[in-house]
Amino acid sequence: MIVSVVPALRSRPRQSPVPRRASVLAALFLAGCASTAANGPAPRLAAPSPPALAPSDSYGLFLSGQQAASEGDLTRSSALFDQASVTDPQDPFLRAKAFSILVLAGQLDRAAAVAASGPVDADDTVTGLVLILRAVNALAEDRGRDAMPDLADNPALGPHSVAAALIRPWAAAAAGDWKTATAPSGPGTDKLVVAFGGLGRAELLERSGRLSDADAAFKAIAASREPMFILAYGAFLERRARTMEAVTLYSQALNRVPDDAALTVARKRAQAHGPAPAAPTLLEGPADCLINLAALLIGDHQPEVGLSYLRLALRLDPARSDAWVLAGETLTQLGDQTGSRAAFLQVRPGSPSYTAARIRLALSFQQVGDRTQALKITHDALAAVPGDVETEVVYAELLRDAQRYQEAITVLNGIVTRAGSRGVDARIYYLRGANEERSGKWPEAEADLKHSLKLSPNAPDVLNYLGFAWVDRGEHLKEALEMLQRAVALAPDSGAILDSLGWARFRVRDYVGAVRDLERAVFLEPGDAEINDHLGDAYWRSGRPTEARYQWSHVLTLNPDNRIRAAVENKLEHGLDPASLPAAPMSRAPVPAPAGAHGPASGRPAPVI
């Protein structure tokens, strides 16, 4: 089972999008901006569709466009919907569909042309986005005054009113109206506009030369203790050569959140008197607003609207690397692998997000079984950024996936050696131990897995791996089963870890307990061929041959690998040899992902990334 390994984006403070778990700001979005969700649903892509047609009219084009969208092919879908809207120019619904998917596909010029060709459907989710796109295009073309009417408070904006309110001051500044641009929020202003708008106002006050007022505005937003606002105020202090104040600010924040990578980088930069991050330009500022909103929307399970905002942000700031990475991730989520890879490839060497983009690009190939390409991309990324630990971790795990265990160990040894007395975190020892175990170096593997648990005693995956290893070797059986039970208690929704516990019970001939745990594991992972196979074995040993044969037959419908298929076909013909205990694969637990990774726990025998 593949777990996405995606390190946190690294970028200049002003470039960092809102984290997926955006703490206070997420709460503001959900509580103060409920109208965004209430005023209209996010555009949906994956509607049920018939098979692809050879379209000859607008309806056929529409159906084919829906089918392409459901398959994640936004480029083809946008072309089909565009053609449908041209074929039937009187249909505002088709025009709205074409416009929405053209924006998602990043074809903003064509989207603007479609919107200009006639009225779109009355859904304010679309009409509001048309207004935002027109305003963004005007800003990108240095026509700030032309952007203002489309950003004015208007019911037609619908759920996009927050985006309009945040962009509006930047459009006013671009139009030369600095009084409007730097005006404080009025009473009753949406909470999200107050939060993000406060940052924009501070930046615009600085740009207008009102440094004392800017200082007060930055200080006010930093009082929220949100890291992104701390970073913004610290960058302002650095630009004003108030370096020691910036160091103090960063240090106080790190006392509260010691693992924040962006704050750590900022403090090191300030301590070294490095160049301060530049203040945002009149195009970068509104791009920031859209990216921050996009990150919140994507985290709130509205990827289509979030991706639309990212496309608009990139119209304003095409080189914005963290936005390209977030767009690539979102396209992956929507099933558009080709578009996702194209987004990751937009991030150039030297960019703060270069390694993050390359890691994600490599994983997109690994997930479809192209290990050679995944390894090449990661190897080349390491050549561009030698010693990047996150990239090395992913490279080591890709080597493990390719069963090149000794090479993976060599990479991990390098990380441990360079760290010296500083040490490395638990995941490195876990990953090295997993590779050592696969290489037959059990004493070394056991030592590394124990050390990983010493550093992180409640890591369910390490408890799972070491506990099962002991059961499989017939060692420390009581302690091993207790470890597996702890792992299940820590990750009760992991079918893979429950499978490990059930299979361990099977190995020690506790067949009743094995059936109980494996039935629960199958409930959690119904499509997993190996867990279903294990349950069949447990049924057989429990004296329930009919259920066992049913379970094994079901395994063959789950596209098992050749090893499982051959074993199951043999069991269906001959049953399970009463004198044998089937060998269990040992790489059952997931290796930990780099910092910032997201994805479900896994325990499949295939290497886990």
- Residue-wise pLDDT for 549-608, tens only, equals 999 999 999 999 899 999 999 999 999 876 555 544 444 444 444 433 333 233 322 222
CATH 1.25.40.10, applies to 281-386: yes
Give 232's pLDDT tier (boundaries 50, 70, 90).
very high
Alpha-carbon span 322 to 337, nearest angstrom: 18
The 8-class DSSP code of residue 420 comes to G
CA 320: distance to chain centroid?
Answer: 17
Quick one: pLDDT at residue 580?
58
Nearest to 466 by CA among 493, 500, 496, 423: 500
State the amino acid at position 348 in one-letter form. Answer: R
Query: Is the pLDDT reported for residue 502 higher than 60?
Result: yes
Q: Tell me: the pLDDT tens digits for 346-388?
A: 999 888 899 999 999 999 999 888 999 999 999 999 998 898 8
User: What pLDDT was estimated at residue 28?
Assistant: 36
Looking at the structure, give the CATH architecture of the domain made up of residues 469-609: Alpha Horseshoe (1.25)
Q: Where does the chain hold its CATH 1.25.40.10 domain(s)?
A: 281-386, 469-609
Q: What are the tens digits of pLDDT across the range 243-301? A: 999 999 999 999 999 888 899 999 999 999 999 999 999 999 999 999 999 999 999 99
Residue 181 predicted with pLDDT over 90:
yes
The predicted pLDDT at position 82 comes to 87
Q: What is the mean pLDDT of the chain?
A: 85
DSSP label at 2? Answer: -
Residue 263: strand, helix, or coil: helix
72: helix, strand or coil: coil
Q: DSSP of 564-580, one letter per residue?
A: HHHHHHHHHHH---TT-
How far, in Å, are 151, 182, 389 from residue 139 at the CA level?
11, 18, 40
The answer to whether the beta carbons of residues 604 and 465 sit under 8 Å apart is no
Q: Is residue 4 pLDDT above 60, yes or no?
A: no
Q: In sequence order, which ranges of 154-242 are alpha helices (DSSP H)?
A: 161-174, 178-181, 191-207, 211-222, 227-239
Cα(430)–Cα(446) distance, rounded to whole angstroms? 10
Element (H, E) at 15: none
CA distance 345 to 362: 11
pLDDT band for position 530 (cuts 50, 70, 90): very high
Whether the CA torsion 103, 107, 108, 110 is positive or negative: it is negative
Question: Has residue 29 got a pLDDT over 70?
Answer: no
Spatial distance between the Cα atoms of 102 and 114, rounded to a whole number of angstroms: 9
Residue ranges in 257-320 assigned as alpha helix (H): 261-271, 284-299, 303-316
Predicted confidence at residue 15, as pLDDT, reads 35
pLDDT at 578: 67
Predicted pLDDT at 193: 87
User: What percentage of the chain exceeds 90 in pLDDT?
Assistant: 67
Statement: residue 53 has pLDDT above 70: no
- Please tell me the predicted confidence (pLDDT) of residue 46: 36
Q: Tokens 């995941």 sit at which residue?
A: 427
* pLDDT over 50 (residue 131): yes
